[in-house]
């Protein structure tokens, strides 16, 4: 069950990273100005996905016996 949770968490983290990249790219090519919401939300989604992967790896490495 623990492997299932880890795998689902990694998949959702990758989805966050991809969504963040899509939001940022869409904002750039959509002709938005420098203060568009996509320039804030896109990198935040990417950072959240990377952070989830980092924490998940750190917890599973330290928590397994």
Q: What is the mean pLDDT of residues 29-58?
A: 92
CA distance 14 to 28: 21
DSSP state string for 23-49: HHHHHHHTT--TT-THHHHHHHHHHHH
Tell me: the pLDDT tens digits for 2-24?
Answer: 788 889 999 999 999 999 999 99
- 2-30 as b/e: b if 16+ CB within 10 A: eeeeeeebeeebeebbebbeebbeebeee
pTM above 0.75, yes or no: yes
């Amino acid at each position: 069950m623990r492997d299932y949770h880890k795998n689902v968490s990694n998949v959702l983290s990758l989805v966050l990273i991809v969504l963040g990249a899509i939001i940022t790219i869409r904002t750039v090519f959509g002709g938005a100005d420098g203060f568009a919401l996509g320039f804030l939300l896109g990198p935040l989604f990417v950072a959240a996905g990377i952070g989830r992967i980092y924490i998940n790896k750190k917890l599973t490495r330290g928590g397994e016996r």
